[in-house]
Amino acid sequence: MNTKAKDFFLHLGAMVSLYAGVIALLNLLFRVINTAYPQIDRYFYGGSSISLPVATLIVVFPIFLLLSNILNKGYESDPSRKDYAVRKWLIWITLFVAGIVLVGDLVTLLYFFLDGRELTSGFVLKVLSVFVVTGGVFGYYIDNLRDVLTGQRRNMWRIFSVVLVLGAIVIGFSVIGSPKSQRLMNYDNQKINDLQNIQSQLISYWQSKQALPETLDGLRDPISSFYEVSLDPQSYAPYVYNKTGDMSFELCAEFNLASQVGNQPARPSNPYQGGVESVEWSHVEGYQCFSRTIDPDFYPPFTKSL
């Protein structure tokens, strides 16, 4: 039986939206689990963003439901469409891909667990997520191939998928935070990046002059890239810099959220780009200062050559 171009692209669109939705759903569930039960070798500053998988689900999941509904109505009006080769090929390809995803994810999760990187709770939840999502795909399309998808059975699968997707989105926001909290977290991340950059410039200034500037304006150099001192991206106010000694200073900023994810501390970071010492930038909510003392053994003065 010849396949019309319309039917080909309807089936292809349904499969592509399904693949994108499954990937986004598993990505979302894994990010939520990683936040609640972080892997041993992973550190987070702030939270793990769920924006991309949630945005993908919001767009592609309704598309999948719409295309599936159009196809089902076509089957009801003309049952011979179920015999299209493209339909059977795409369904079998989908089952094959779902099997690869199931095996690949289970192997990866088991490797991380046996390697000591994954907590038991996180491992169990991820395995359960993989089985539920891929099992749903297998169940629906096997029913489709067996031609046992009655109206009631199809509605059950539809309700199952809607509850699964909406439940994952709600849990994601409850664990990681709303778009507003993510925005505030991004502000905090940018502030830390700015403070790291300023601190690096202060150390370079001391290495060049063996003295610290009285204010941040002393760092301005029209020849270098550090001509304009960064401002707080949220309030557009200058960051607070206090010279507390010949080789000591503090940098201060106002933070929206504490740098904690679950029970895990914020990620230590090294703004010196090759320095030996690792500097902790974890902070509480509100105004906080970071005190620093330059160690000349780690950051010796630059040697001036004639």
- 170 lies in the same domain as 207: no
**Above 90 in pLDDT, residue 286?**
yes
What domain range is 200 assigned to? 181-293
More confident: 158 or 76: 158
CA 36 – CA 66 distance, rounded (Å): 34
Which helix (H) or strand (E) is 149 found in, with range?
none
- pLDDT in the model for residue 291: 94
Q: How many domains does the chain have?
A: 2
Chosen domain end from 161, 177, 193: 177
Chosen domain end from 121, 150, 177: 177
- pLDDT in the model for residue 164: 92
pLDDT in tens, 99-110: 888 888 889 888
- pLDDT in the model for residue 306: 42
- 56 lies in the same domain as 119: yes
pTM above 0.85, yes or no: no
**Packing angle of the helix pair 5-36, 85-114 (nearest 10 deg):** 10
Report yes or no: 226 and 201 within 8 Å, Cβ to Cβ. Answer: yes
**Above 60 in pLDDT, residue 188?**
yes
- Residue 69 falls within a domain, yes or no? yes
Rounded to the nearest integer, the mean pLDDT of the chain is 82
| Helices marked H in 147-275 | 151-176, 179-209
- Residue 39 falls within a domain, yes or no? yes
The DSSP secondary-structure symbol of 40 reads T
- 76 lies in the same domain as 186: no
Chosen domain end from 177, 210, 237: 177
CA distances from 85 to 106, 123, 232 (A): 32, 40, 60
- 224 lies in the same domain as 236: yes
- pLDDT in the model for residue 305: 53
- Residue 62 falls within a domain, yes or no? yes
Mean pLDDT over 159-184 rounds to 85
- 191 lies in the same domain as 232: yes
- 165 lies in the same domain as 189: no
- Residue 96 falls within a domain, yes or no? yes
- 266 lies in the same domain as 236: yes
Mean pLDDT over 3-10 rounds to 75
